[in-house]
Amino acid sequence: MSQSLKLIKEHASNPKFWLIIGVGVAGIVVLVETRRRTRRNKTHKQDFGAFVERFEILPFPQLPPSAAKQSLSALTFAINETFDVKDYVTGFGNPTWKSTHKKAEKTALVVTALLKSGATCVGKTVVDEFSFGISGENKYYGTPTNPRMPSCAPGGSSCGSAVAVAAGLVDFAVGTDTIGCVRIPAAFCGIFGFRPSHGAVSTIGVLPNAQSLDTIGWFACDPSILHRVGHVLLQLSSVETKRSRRIIFADDLFQLSTIPTQRTIHVIGKAIENMSGYQDPKHLNLCQYIDSKVPSLRLHEQSTHRQNETSILKTLSSVMLSLQGYEFKTNYEEWVKSLKFKLGRVSDHVIAAISTVYDNIKALYKVRTEMRGAFQSLLKDDGILVIPTVADSQLKLNTTKGFSSEFHDRTFALSSIASVSGCCQVTIPLGYHDGCCVSVSFISFHGADKFLLDAVLDIYSTLREQVSVGFDLVSLPDISGNMETSELLKEKGNAAFKERQWSKALSYYTEAIKLNGTNTTYYCNRAAAHLKLGCFQHAAEDCSKAILLDKKNVKAYLRRGAARESLLCYEEALEDFKHALVLEPQNKDASLAEKRLRKLMS
C-alpha cells in the first residue's frame, strides 16, 4: 500500500483531515484558474485587445494599366463584428448569437468595395454587445485598451475598430454608427471618425441595430485616408466642387462641454481667418432653433413635462433611443425570446428594448422628418455646424461614472442631432487638454458628404497649426541633469518609439521641435512616428522640413518617399528614392523601393 493511501486510511474518520484536503484542493483549483485567466488576459491584450478574429483577405487583382489605379492600394483595414464575411460567422458581440447562427454566404458590400479598391482586410474587431452601449466594454470579449489613454474606456460601440486605428494596427477601420457609435470612440481615442448621411452607404451584409438610425462609418488617423475611404464608400467623383463655406458655432452646446469653450472656438476661428472660401463664422443657439423648427418635438417635450431650454436635446435623445429600442425589438424579439432560460446571457439593454411597449411610433418618425428639414434649411448647401463631439472627458475604467445617467444624457444630447436628422458628421481630433483627448465635430446637411470631407481635408493642416498654439497639448516633463530639454525629449520619444508607443513618441518629438525648430533629427524622427500612425501627409511635411535643414539627410528622403508612395504619389516618391541612392549608392532600402516603384508604374 502506498504511503498516501495509508495516510488516508489512518485519518479517514478525522474531520480536520478532510478539511485540510479540501483547502488543498481548493487552492489547486484557484491556482489553475488564476493561471488560466492570466493566460487569457495576456492573449486578450495582444493588439490592444482590439480584435475578435484575425485573418487576411487580399484585395481584388489590380486593374489593367490603362484603367484607373486602385485608390486604397497598400492600405490595411479592419471591420467590426457586425459585418458579414463569407465563410465566417458574424458574431454581433455576443457568443450566444454566434453559436446560433451559420457562416455568412456572402461578404458585405462595403467590405467588397474596399477590397476592390486595393485595401487588405486583416480581421474583425470587438463591438459592444448587439451594438448597444457607448463605453466600449464587452463582458464576453473584454474592453479594448485605449492607446491614447490606457486608463480610460475607448468608447463604443465600434470600440475595437477605433482602437485598431489609434494603435496604428491598421490604416483605417470600419464600424457602425447608430447613436454615436463611431463618433464617440473616435473622440475618446483621439482620431478621425466619419458618420455619413443616413442611407448614403449600403448596409447590405451588415447586422442592423435600428435601420432608421444605422450608418456605416469609418476611422482614420490621417484626414487624407479618411477622404480616400469616403470616395470609395460613397462612390464620389474626384471633381473639385467650388463653393464657399459658412461656419456656424452652436454656442449653447459648447456650454455643455467641460473643455473651455473659447479655446475651441478661437482655434477654429483663427484657422479659417486667412483661408479663402470661408465666410466669417456665425453663432447660434441651436436648442432655440430646434425648438422653433421641430414642432413635433416640442409636443413630445410637453408630454414628458420638460420645460427648460437644454431639455429640448434631452427630448431629442429620448426620441432617438425610443426609435432604437423599437426597431431593435422588431428585428430581434423572436430570436431573444427563443433563448428562454438563456435570457441572462444578453445585456440589460437588450432585455429593456425587448420588454418595452412603444407608444405613438408615428410621432417619433415625424420628429425625424422635421429634423431633417430643419437642418436642410439651416445649413443649405454651404453650412457647417460646429459642436463638441462629447461633453465630458473619457470615462475611467472600472468606475461608477460609466453608469451615470448624467453622463449618458449629456453624450446622447450631442449625438442625437446627426442621428435623428440623418446629417453627416465628422469627429476631428484637437490634441489634448488636461491629459484628455479633445475633439470637435463638423456637421453638414444630408447628402453633403463630399462637401464635408473636402472641408476637413482643406482645413486640417491649418487647424493643427492653431491647435499647437491654442491648447496645452503635452505638459513638459520634469527636467533634471545637464542634458538640454529638447534632447531629453527626443530621447524620451526614441524610447517610446522602441516600445511601439507611436502617439507618445509623436508628442515628445513635437515638444522637442517647439524648443528647437532647427534640428533635422527631430523632424525626421517625428516623420517616422507619423508613418507608423498612418499620417502620411504629416510625415511628408516633416521630411520636407528636415530636407530644407539638411539636403543630405538620407533618412528624410527615404521616409518622404514612403509617405508619398502611401499617398499614391508614385513619381514624387520615386524621385525621393533616387535622391537617396545618389547620396548612398549602396543603400538597400532605397534600391528595393526604387525597383518596386518602377515595377508598379510600368
DSSP collapsed to 3 states, 499-550? CCCHHHHHHHHHHHHHHCCCCHHHHHHHHHHHHHCCCHHHHHHHHHHHHHHC
Residue bearing cell 444630447: 413
Select from 84, 82, 121 the least CA-distant residue to 104. 84
3-class SS letters over 15-39:
HHHHHHHHHHHHHHHHHHHHHHHHH
Residue bearing cell 482645413: 459
Tell me if 367 sits within 8 A of 297, measured CB to CB.
Answer: yes
Q: What is the pLDDT of residue 482?
A: 28
For residues 477 and 547, the model is more confident at 547
Give the model's confidence band at 241: pLDDT under 50 very low, under 70 low, under 90 confident, else very high: low
Q: What is the pLDDT of residue 248?
A: 97
Q: What is the pLDDT of residue 26?
A: 45
For residues 39 and 193, the model is more confident at 193
Mean pLDDT of 100-127: 97
Q: What is the pLDDT of residue 30?
A: 43
Tell me if 114 sits within 8 A of 70, measured CB to CB.
Answer: no
Give the model's confidence band at 156: pLDDT under 50 very low, under 70 low, under 90 confident, else very high: very high
Q: Does domain 51-294+363-471 have CATH number 3.90.1300.10?
A: yes
Q: Which of 129-138, 332-341, 467-476 is the most confident on average?
A: 129-138
Exposure on the CB side of residue 178, measured as CA atoms within 13 A: 28
pLDDT digits (tens, 9 = 90+) for 544-559: 999 988 888 999 999 9
Asked whether residue 36 carries a pLDDT value surpassing 50, the answer given is no
Asked whether residue 434 carries a pLDDT value surpassing 90, the answer given is no
For residues 198 and 22, the model is more confident at 198
Q: What is the pLDDT of residue 63?
A: 67
Asked whether residue 483 carries a pLDDT value surpassing 50, the answer given is no
pLDDT digits (tens, 9 = 90+) for 316-327: 999 999 999 999
User: Residue 70 in 3-state DSSP?
Assistant: coil
Asked whether residue 427 carries a pLDDT value surpassing 70, the answer given is yes
The CATH number of 479-601 is which of 1.25.40.10, 3.40.190.10, 1.10.760.10, 1.20.1250.20? 1.25.40.10
For residues 482 and 44, the model is more confident at 44
Asked whether residue 3 carries a pLDDT value surpassing 90, the answer given is no
Asked whether residue 21 carries a pLDDT value surpassing 70, the answer given is no
Give the range among 246-260, 273-287, 342-356 with minimum mean pLDDT: 342-356
Q: What is the pLDDT of residue 111?
A: 98
Select from 227, 183, 191 the least CA-distant residue to 72. 227
Q: What is the pLDDT of residue 549?
A: 87
For residues 42 and 520, the model is more confident at 520
Pairing verdict, β 172-177 and 215-220: antiparallel
Mean pLDDT of 484-494: 81
Give the model's confidence band at 67: pLDDT under 50 very low, under 70 low, under 90 confident, else very high: low
Q: What is the pLDDT of residue 110?
A: 98
Burial class for 416, CB neighbours closer than 10 Å (0-12, 13-18, 19+): buried
C-alpha grid cell, residue 592:
528595393
Tell me if 157 sits within 8 A of 150, measured CB to CB.
Answer: no
Asked whether residue 346 carries a pLDDT value surpassing 70, the answer given is no
Give the model's confidence band at 343: pLDDT under 50 very low, under 70 low, under 90 confident, else very high: low
Mean pLDDT of 505-534: 89
| Residues forming beta bridges with residue 490, ordered by sequence position | none
- What's the pTM? 0.72
Give the model's confidence band at 45: pLDDT under 50 very low, under 70 low, under 90 confident, else very high: low
Give the model's confidence band at 236: pLDDT under 50 very low, under 70 low, under 90 confident, else very high: confident
Mean pLDDT of 493-500: 88
Asked whether residue 468 carries a pLDDT value surpassing 80, the answer given is no
Q: What is the pLDDT of residue 478?
A: 32
Q: What is the pLDDT of residue 20?
A: 56
Q: What is the pLDDT of residue 299?
A: 77
Q: What is the pLDDT of residue 597?
A: 87
Q: What is the pLDDT of residue 13?
A: 60
Radius of gyration of the chain, Cα coordinates, nearest whole angstrom: 27
Asked whether residue 394 carries a pLDDT value surpassing 50, the answer given is yes
Asked whether residue 480 carries a pLDDT value surpassing 90, the answer given is no
Asked whether residue 163 carries a pLDDT value surpassing 90, the answer given is yes
| Residues forming beta bridges with residue 428, ordered by sequence position | 440
Q: What is the pLDDT of residue 561?
A: 93
pLDDT digits (tens, 9 = 90+) for 259-318: 666 678 888 998 998 788 999 999 999 999 999 999 999 777 666 555 555 689 999 999
- What mean pLDDT is reported for the chain? 85
Asked whether residue 117 carries a pLDDT value surpassing 70, the answer given is yes
Domain ranges within the chain, ordered by starting residue: 51-294+363-471, 479-601
Q: What is the pLDDT of residue 89?
A: 97
